Structure 1
């Protein structure tokens, strides 16, 4: 029985596929054989092996290229430290650049938190490195972590008005705990201590004393607790790989974009930059090369931005920042738990929420309650001092006239004569008010309502009447104008609203996709 056309076609197709597989298997076998020969020294190679290498020159070339690529990747993973004299010279150069900067933006990675016993990701002992090697990543209690010397150095630069913004890839919340206000901070991968209600508009935030990501994962962000206002399920603020972070806080993409656009110096600390390199708006890629910000990198490993950097420092962040701050003449403050804003602004769990977490809480400082009381007393003292300076007491007004007022009994004869009040010469200190109504006595005391601080913690430690971190009851701040602060009367006092809230970004994109689409439309 003759084969049909379809059977002939299928047999030819099957034989062609088998032939292709056979050729591929032979090439793979040749690659393995050539690679094994190349691993031997030239003295140990036989005449037959030398002939194989001569006949497969193209395979030898490709094997050598692959080996060079593997060696290059392996070398990039190595942690290299500069010699002490070279490190000192580089630190002087970086300190000079920071002192000249008008707008300094800092991008931080996991490398600045390793001193707090938090492992990094791509380091020689990082989480992903150990996972690729099949090793156990170990148990790490992040609740014991505290801001490191680098965190406090950045806080000192902020207090000196040198640092304008921090873009952090870390989720440990140590930047916020060091004292840097959230308006100056963009935690682009979220904060492990912050959970939010996306139903409330604007989104309501809850700052906790424990890790809220216990029950969350990629595309599963429910924490098991409910919003106190709308009873919706709370979610963590963490951004996993493949997800798009669009929360106004703590991600703050708008603040990061604005700071990157205005920066004239960008300092990268402890970051491999393999993620941040995907966001072109952080590197002023829309500007000519000559007009972009000067880039400085501090990292032990290679980064993809090393070629674009003015200076690359291979060193540990704490050691380098200590030298830089010394050259700048700035003192690095020590971390103080009583000044940690998380212990004042965190919202404690209600009685019915205690079972929703098993993670350990941060150990609160020994003195917490007197903190707010002392701050209120300080506010009262400051207000009283202002009153003494700006206002003149009633005794000062009476000093304008030196005549001693007559006693009350001297007015009795005039009252018996039917006069409604005694003559004004008996009370000369009141005469100007009655006889010269158009004359204004200088520096008369005027009772003006005094502003109440919205946050006594920020008033005491940061000298601000407004809350720089979070409202203590979890309320999101209402937007205000920084130049003309809106003041709303409540009874006899004035309350100044908290810091400005920035609208959510239109489309931050993922790895720069949204940015490239926008550029195509403009062209």
Structure 2
């Protein structure tokens, strides 16, 4: 069933939530666009101007590491003032109520944490763009310190502990997916009875495999998105429209 009227969508979602006891939310860029965070594929997206650099290129070239950091800070400036939106607060409330066991996210914007959801309930499949880490020893580095040094010298940062290359703590194209996050996402997905896929195009794998995994373990699948997805035909319910509008009643 596909619902496009916001009141019908809200009512159907409320019923699905009431009937569930172990909800997992899976979020993509669409939940953050109302917050001023650009998605990756829209026309004129700044991600098209400041394209991510593949992991192997980053590792092999000092010049490309410098360019990657230049693009990183340019993008950060675009959504530096972003705050959680209605969808983030709705999911934070579901977690706080005990209804939702986990939020699995493709996003790197840290807005789920900012909305009040505890870190241990958030699974970041693509990492987090609000800090950096050393590729050699894993030491965390804060962006404010890295940016100060980068703007002073133009040189790509090196780890203060081991001298290894420092990279934004996101998963780049060609970089291995984080094993622990994948494990946690799998465990949460197979144990849930309602899987809410929110704001994701559901075309980026392996992340997009989780809705089908949930269905194969007898969970209901509800997709909330502004546009059609390849998995709409698998879903028990598709709520198509503005994500913030649909989730707004659950945000307070």
> Which TM class, normalised by the smaller chain length?
0.7 to 0.9
CA distance in 1, matches of 2:228, 2:39: 15
Deviations 1:312-336 (A, max 9, x none): 111111111113x2xxxxx62xxxx
1:279 positional shift: 5.1
Residues 194 and 212, structure 1, Cα contact 8 Å, conserved in 2: no
Residue matched to 2:14? 95
Length, aligned pairs only? 222
Residue from 181, 192, 209 that aligns with 1:280: 209
Return closer, same or farther for 1:198/1:144 CA change in 2, 3 Å cut-off: same
Corresponding residue for residue 40 of structure 2: 121
**Structure 2 matches for 1:204-283, cutoff 5 A?**
204-206=139-141, 208=142, 210=144, 223-227=157-161, 232-246=164-178, 248=180, 252-276=181-205, 280=209, 283=212
Q: 1:89 to 1:285 in 2, by over 3 A?
A: closer
2:68 paired residue number? none
Residues in 1 aligned to 2:120 and 2:114: alpha-carbon distance in whole angstroms: 14
CA distance in 2, matches of 1:95, 1:276: 29
Query: What does 1:72-91 correspond to in 2, within 5 Å?
Result: 82=4, 86-91=5-10
Change (3 A) 1:223 1:190: farther
Partner SS for 1:156: helix
Question: What displacement does 1:253 show?
Answer: 1.8
Distance 2:79 2:170 in 1: 15
**More off after superposition, 276-285 vs 297-306:** 276-285
Spell out, residue by residue over 1:36-81, the C-alpha distance to the aligned partner (whole angstroms, 9 max, x if none): xxxxxxxxxxxxxxxxxxxxxxxxxxxxxxxxxxxxxxxxxxxxx9
1:89–1:246 Cα change, 3 Å = closer
- Matching residue within 125, 135, 157 for 1:188: 125
Q: Is the 8 A contact 1:261 1:282 kept in 2?
A: no
- Deviation per CA, 1:310-364: give whole Å up to 9, x if none: 11111111111113x2xxxxx62xxxxxxxxxxxxxxxxxxxxxxxxxxxxxxxx
Superposition deviation, residue 308 in structure 1: 0.6
What TM-score comes out, normalization by structure 2 length? 0.74
Counterpart residue number, 2:55: none
**Structure 2 matches for 1:347-358, cutoff 5 A?**
none
* Residue 209 of structure 1, CA deviation: 5.8
In structure 2, the residue corresponding to 1:166 is in which secondary structure? strand
SS at match of 1:318: helix
- Post-superposition shift, 1:242? 2.6
CA drift at 1:141: 2.0
Instruction: Mark the CA change 1:211 to 1:110 in structure 2 (over 3 Å): closer, same or farther.
Output: farther
Name the CA shift for 1:95/1:126 in 2 (closer, same or farther; >3 Å). farther
Distance 1:215 1:312, change over 3 A: farther
Distance change >3 Å, CA 306–CA 205, structure 1 → 2:
same
Map Cα deviations across residues 108-129 of structure 1 (whole Å, 9 max, x no partner). Answer: 1111111111111234554568
Q: Which has the larger radius of gyration?
A: 1
State the secondary structure of the residue aligned to 2:158: strand
Once residues 209 and 178 of structure 1 are traced to their aligned partners in structure 2, the CA distance between those partners, rounded to angstroms, is 21
1:154-165 equivalence runs, <5 A: 154-165=91-102
What is the alpha-carbon distance in structure 2 between the residues aligned to residue 292 and residue 171 of structure 1? 29
Q: In 2, distance between residues paired with 1:286 and 1:299?
A: 18
1:143 corresponds to: 80
Could you give the per-residue CA deviations for residues 421-450 of structure 1, whole angstroms, max 9, x where no partner exists? xxxxxxxxxxxxxxxxxxxxxxxxxxxxxx
| Conserved? CA contact 1:103–1:164, under 8 Å | yes
Distance 1:214 1:151 in 2: 31
Contact 1:143-1:210 within 8 A present in 2 as well: no
Q: Given that residues 106 and 207 in structure 2 are in contact (C-alpha distance below 8 angstroms), is that contact kept between their aligned partners in structure 1?
A: no
CA-based RMSD of the aligned residues comes to 3.4
**Change in CA separation of 1:242 and 1:307 when aligned onto 2, cut-off 3 Å:** same
Unaligned runs of 5+ in 2: 51-73, 151-155
